[in-house]
């Protein structure tokens, strides 16, 4: 902006941004603070805004009462595996859509885009029945399969945008040098594409990590539960035990926090890319 801002205006800006920061951070802080309080402090008045007797008893509690380490492991396995599958499949599809002119390419894009606006929940029950016919109900590979499919369209749309920013002269040169199409893609283009690939991977990881309803439908066994499924059953099991609930919430958010802290730039880039190129 060209005009210089006056001092009161600067102060107003800082004030508004500070208030917004507090509004965003406070609920998260409150969950953390609750998780570190002993039971009796959580449920007694007056409310302590700063935990006085810090304890990890809520964390010990959820590991003792539930198989939380198993849930964490399951969530990690499913989220990582599905994100990897999505990355491979949608790298191929988006590369072709970005680079080759062929009849029907517009329709293929529409085919992927349409999945983003149709309410997928209509397909939920039939999908469940289909999965059970394939004996993929109550199994982690079944979840990996479904999560992959859920993320393929958006990842394809998003990656296509990234590919279009890489000059095609790169792989043309490589192909002249005798590389095949696939090896030109792998050796020359992918290294340049790292930010886009990272964004895609993180997006699908976070989506898988967070997914609730399908996992609730598909997973029954205690040893196969992912974190959201387990927490869903906590609501009934622990009901008013907000100490355990908040500890579980904090634990389940940690991977997302780490990813977000490390890769915020890629994520923002990927998100805006995906939606603009729709």
Partner 1 sequence: MSDLNPTRSSPRKPRSAIWFIAGSLAPAIVLVLALTYYPLLRGVVMAFQNYTLFDLTNVHFIGFDNFKAVFDNDMFLIALKNSFYWVVVSLILQFVFGFGIALLLRKPFFGRGVYQGMVFFPWAMSGFLIGLIWRWLFNGQIGVINDLLIKIGIIDTPIAFLSNPSWGMTSVIVANVWYGVAFFAIMLLAALQSVPEEIYEAAEVDGARRFQRLVKITIPYIMPTILTTVALRVIWIMNFPDLIYAMTNGGPAGSTHILSTFMMDKILFGGDYGQAAAVGLIMMVILVLFMIFYFAASKLEKAGDF
Residue 215's nearest CA partner among 31, 114, 64, 82 is 82
- With CB under 8 A as the contact rule, the residue among 64, 102, 191, 239 that binds partner 1 is 102
- With CB under 8 A as the contact rule, the residue among 70, 73, 77, 92 that binds partner 1 is 92
Q: Taking a C-beta distance cutoff of 8 angstroms, is the pair 116, 278 a contact? A: yes
With tokens 């109900």, the residue in question is 137
Other Cβ atoms within 10 Å of 261 Cβ, number:
8
Question: Residue 52 carries which DSSP code?
Answer: S
- With CB under 8 A as the contact rule, the residue among 73, 77, 89, 190 that binds partner 1 is 89
- The residues in 112-151 that bind partner 1, with binding defined as CB under 8 A, are 112, 115-127, 130, 145-146, 148-150
Nearer to partner 1, 69 or 265 (CB): 265
Residue 146's nearest CA partner among 174, 127, 166 is 127
Nearer to partner 1, 25 or 65 (CB): 25
In the complex, minimum distance from the CB of residue 271 to partner 1, in angstroms, rounded to a whole number: 6
Binding mask 206-235 toward partner 1 (x if CB under 8 A, else -) reads: x--xxxxx--xx----------x--xx--x
In the complex, minimum distance from the CB of residue 180 to partner 1, in angstroms, rounded to a whole number: 4
- The residues in 234-263 that bind partner 1, with binding defined as CB under 8 A, are 235, 242, 245-246, 249, 252-253, 256-257, 259-261
**CA 82 centroid distance within chain:** 11
In the complex, minimum distance from the CB of residue 193 to partner 1, in angstroms, rounded to a whole number: 15
Nearer to partner 1, 134 or 194 (CB): 134
Q: Tell me how many residues contact partner 1 (CB under 8 A).
A: 92
Q: Which long-range contacts (CB under 8 A, 24 or more apart) does 112-117 make?
A: 112/152, 112/153, 112/154, 112/156, 112/157, 113/153, 113/157, 113/278, 115/153, 116/153, 116/154, 116/157, 116/278
Binding part of the chain for partner 1, among 50-58, 62-70, 190-198, 264-272 by CB under 8 A, reads 264-272
Nearer to partner 1, 218 or 224 (CB): 218
Residue 58's nearest CA partner among 45, 73, 46, 41 is 41
- The residues in 13-72 that bind partner 1, with binding defined as CB under 8 A, are 13, 16-17, 20-21, 23-25, 27-28, 30-31, 34, 42-47
- The residues in 171-200 that bind partner 1, with binding defined as CB under 8 A, are 175, 180-183
Query: Which tokens is 95 given?
Result: 């590369």
Cα 8 from Cα 265, distance rounded (Å): 31
């Amino acid at each position: 902006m060209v005009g210089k801002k006056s001092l009161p205006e600067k102060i107003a800006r800082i004030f508004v941004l500070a208030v917004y920061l507090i509004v965003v951070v406070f609920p998260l802080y409150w969950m953390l603070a609750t998780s570190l309080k002993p039971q009796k402090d959580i449920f007694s008045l007056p409310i302590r805004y700063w935990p006085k007797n810090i304890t990890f008893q809520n964390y010990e509690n959820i590991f003792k009462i539930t198989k939380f380490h198993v849930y964490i492991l399951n969530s990690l396995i499913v989220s990582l595996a599905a994100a990897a599958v999505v990355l491979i499949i949608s790298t191929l599809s988006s590369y072709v859509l970005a680079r080759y002119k062929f009849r029907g390419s517009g329709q293929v894009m529409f085919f992927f885009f349409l999945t983003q606006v149709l309410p997928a929940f209509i397909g939920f029950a039939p999908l469940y029945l289909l999965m059970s016919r394939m004996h993929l109900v109550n199994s982690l590979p079944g979840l990996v399969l479904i999560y992959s499919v859920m993320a393929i369209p958006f990842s394809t749309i998003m990656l296509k945008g990234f590919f279009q920013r890489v000059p095609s002269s790169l792989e043309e040169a490589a192909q002249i040098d005798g590389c095949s199409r696939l090896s030109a893609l792998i050796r020359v283009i992918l290294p340049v594409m790292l930010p886009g690939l990272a964004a895609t991977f993180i997006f699908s990881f976070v989506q898988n990590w967070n997914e609730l309803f399908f996992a609730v439908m598909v997973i029954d066994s205690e040893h196969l539960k992912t974190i959201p499924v387990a927490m869903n059953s906590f609501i009934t099991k622990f009901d008013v035990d907000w100490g355990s609930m908040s500890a579980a919430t904090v634990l389940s958010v940690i991977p997302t926090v780490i990813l977000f802290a490390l890769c915020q730039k890629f994520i923002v880039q990927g998100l805006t890319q995906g939606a603009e190129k729709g």
